[in-house]
């Protein structure tokens, strides 16, 4: 089977909407910039990715515990962490069309990578382009662009009584990263679960950033979900554990079907003042034209705990029973965007291909082309689809529904009797359903077995109904 042209962003966006994965938010009001909603298959896929991460990071580990902290935290949290003063992006405005751009993104168009540069460095690079008459608004072409200025990414809100509403006292921030809640609950975790160093705290949850230009679909949005794990350790353990976690995270991508040559490490040369090492896993997005960050692995030193200890007055040290030493643990983190991973898995799996002319489906006139989501079975939104061969034969329908009702207690299943079998296969292929079960006349009249068809090979086999449960147990074992 020949794979066809690469996936453009337009193709992925249109597929996501057409098949109920991702919808633009507030569409009936004309949309709402860089916010998206997840439809039926989207939420199923997102939950499966989240569960796969949780399984690797918490369930299969004895040194990591879970947490679900609140989105709102004491406002001082974000002062102590440095976010209120310093979580900014450089912004440029077009004076003609009033569009707003991230200065480092404008510079990217000229092959300049100033991702982590200072405002001065960015303005110097912009000035050089301006002098060469190369700097133009990407929307209207005007050369009337402002210089870059800082733009806070923090999303503000107000909590409290109405009289407080306009006072500074009631200002709260929607968390820009989930790890803030982990630092605040670290002491409670120590006091209640008594973990021994090194140990991790993991959580999945929403984060909010007032991205200047949130482009590229769900790659960069203003509301998104992060999956973060903060690993607390002694400073001398950092090097070994950092390498270990890098390897574990790399292997996770391979385990879930991402080819080795589609990911690589990006080493940050310019580090945040508290970081001693920072690497990103980047994925080669077909739809975004190249390698982009999906996950960051950062050695953060004792910055977070020392800042919060100083700011709150709480004692955040750890007492080592064995060495009788009291110390402030250092932290390394793994941090990944769930929505970004969803885009990565779709980009990697969405395939348009010619159906092998010698295959049963082609020879039965079931279409020469198909779109198929070749995604790991464990991540597939629907695991098994069950069909009666014909929808107007009550005996076939009754048997198919009986199988569906039994299987759905174990797997996410779909019953479908719409259109002919070929169309049903195509619908299930496109959303990545690994197996389709068809109840036909042989089932009722001959052998009490059904046809099971495999998404990738399109091969069919007869399986006795009584063996179906065991059959799928084998197929889905991980
Ligand atoms: N606690 C560390 C931290 O938040 P980050 O590099 O800012 O680090 C980590 O974010 C991950 O979160 C990124 O690699 C990306 O996958 C995801 N992410 C960050 N901003 C995002 C946005 N605006 N939209 C979607 N995902 C985002």
Pocket test for ligand 1, best of 102, 177, 211, 217 (most atoms within 8 A of CB): 177
327 lies in a domain?
A: yes
Q: Which of 84-98, 135-149, 335-349 has the highest mean pLDDT?
A: 335-349
Query: Is the Cβ atom of 452 under 6 angstroms away from ligand 1?
Result: no
> Residues 14-67: pLDDT tens digits?
999 999 999 999 999 999 989 999 999 999 999 999 999 999 999 999 999 999
Domains in the chain, number: 3
**Full residue range of the structural domain in which residue 99 is found:** 88-152
Same domain, 165 and 129: no
How far is Cα 94 from Cα 132, in angstroms, rounded to an integer? 18
Same domain, 186 and 299: yes
What is the CATH classification number for the domain harbouring 371? 3.40.50.800
C-alpha 226 – ligand 1 centre gap (Å): 7
Same domain, 283 and 418: no
140 lies in a domain?
A: yes
Of 347, 377, 393, the residue that ends a domain is 347
Same domain, 147 and 168: no
How far is Cα 278 from Cα 301, in angstroms, rounded to an integer? 11
Same domain, 226 and 341: yes
How far is Cα 80 from Cα 61, in angstroms, rounded to an integer? 31
User: Model pTM greater than 0.85?
Assistant: yes
What are the tokens at 235?
A: 């400073």
Residue 214: band (very low, low, confident or very high) from pLDDT cuts 50, 70, 90: low
Strands 435-439 and 384-388: parallel
Instruction: Report the run of H or E that residue 464 belongs to, with start and end.
Output: strand 460-464
C-alpha 397 – ligand 1 centre gap (Å): 47
Q: Which of 140-144, 166-170, 176-180 has the lowest mean pLDDT?
A: 166-170
Same domain, 342 and 310: yes
Query: Is the Cβ atom of 426 under 6 angstroms away from ligand 1?
Result: no
Query: Is the Cβ atom of 209 under 6 angstroms away from ligand 1?
Result: yes
Q: What atom of ligand 1 comes closest to residue 178's alpha carbon?
A: 1
What is the CATH classification number for the domain harbouring 174? 3.30.930.10
- Spatial neighbors of 467 by CB under 8 A, at least 6 apart, are none
Task: Give the mean pLDDT of the chain.
Answer: 93
How far is Cα 136 from Cα 150, in angstroms, rounded to an integer? 20
Same domain, 265 and 386: no
């Amino acid at each position: 089977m020949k794979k066809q042209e690469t996936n453009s962003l337009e193709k992925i966006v249109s597929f996501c909407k057409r098949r109920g994965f991702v919808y633009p938010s507030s569409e009936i009001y004309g949309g709402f910039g860089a916010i998206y909603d997840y439809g039926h298959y989207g939420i199923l896929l997102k939950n499966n990715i989240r569960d796969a991460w949780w399984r690797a990071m918490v369930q299969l580990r004895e040194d990591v515990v879970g947490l679900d902290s609140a989105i709102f935290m004491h406002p001082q949290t974000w002062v102590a962490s440095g976010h209120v003063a310093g979580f900014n992006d450089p912004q440029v405005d077009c004076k003609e069309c009033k569009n707003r751009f991230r200065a480092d993104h404008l510079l990217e168009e000229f092959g300049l990578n100033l991702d982590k540069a200072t405002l001065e460095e960015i303005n110097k690079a912009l000035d050089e382009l301006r002098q060469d008459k190369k700097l133009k608004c990407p929307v209207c072409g005007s050369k009337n662009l402002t210089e870059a200025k800082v733009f806070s990414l923090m999303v503000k809100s107000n909590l409290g009584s109405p009289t407080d509403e306009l006072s500074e006292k009631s200002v709260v921030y929607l968390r820009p990263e989930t790890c803030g809640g982990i630092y605040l609950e670290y002491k409670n975790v120590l006091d209640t679960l008594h973990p021994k160093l090194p140990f991790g705290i993991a959580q999945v949850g929403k984060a909010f950033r007032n991205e200047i230009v949130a482009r590229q679909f769900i790659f960069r949005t203003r509301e998104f979900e992060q999956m973060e794990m903060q690993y607390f350790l002694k400073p001398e353990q950092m090097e070994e554990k950092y390498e270990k976690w890098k390897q574990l995270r790399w292997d996770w991508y391979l385990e879930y079907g991402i080819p080795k040559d589609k990911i690589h490490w990006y080493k940050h040369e310019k580090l945040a003042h508290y970081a001693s090492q920072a690497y990103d896993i980047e994925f080669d997005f077909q739809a975004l034209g190249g390698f982009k960050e999906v996950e960051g692995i950062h050695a953060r030193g004792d910055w977070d705990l020392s800042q919060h200890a100083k700011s709150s007055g709480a004692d955040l040290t750890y007492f080592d029973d064995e060495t009788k030493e009291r110390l402030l643990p250092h932290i390394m983190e793994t941090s990944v965007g769930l929505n970004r991973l969803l885009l990565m898995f779709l980009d990697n799996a969405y395939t348009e291909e010619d159906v092998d002319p010698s295959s049963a489906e082609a020879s039965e006139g079931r279409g020469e082309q198909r779109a198929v989501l070749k995604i790991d079975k464990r991540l597939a939104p629907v695991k098994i689809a069950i069909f009666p061969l014909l929808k107007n034969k009550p005996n076939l329908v009754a048997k198919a529904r009986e199988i569906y009702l039994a299987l759905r207690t174990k797997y996410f299943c779909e019953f479908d009797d719409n259109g002919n079998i070929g169309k049903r296969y195509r619908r299930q292929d496109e959303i990545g359903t690994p197996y389709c079960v068809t109840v036909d006349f042989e089932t009722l009249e001959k052998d009490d077995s059904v046809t099971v068809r495999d998404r990738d090979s399109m091969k069919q086999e007869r399986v006795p109904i009584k063996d179906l449960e065991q059959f799928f147990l084998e197929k889905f074992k991980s």
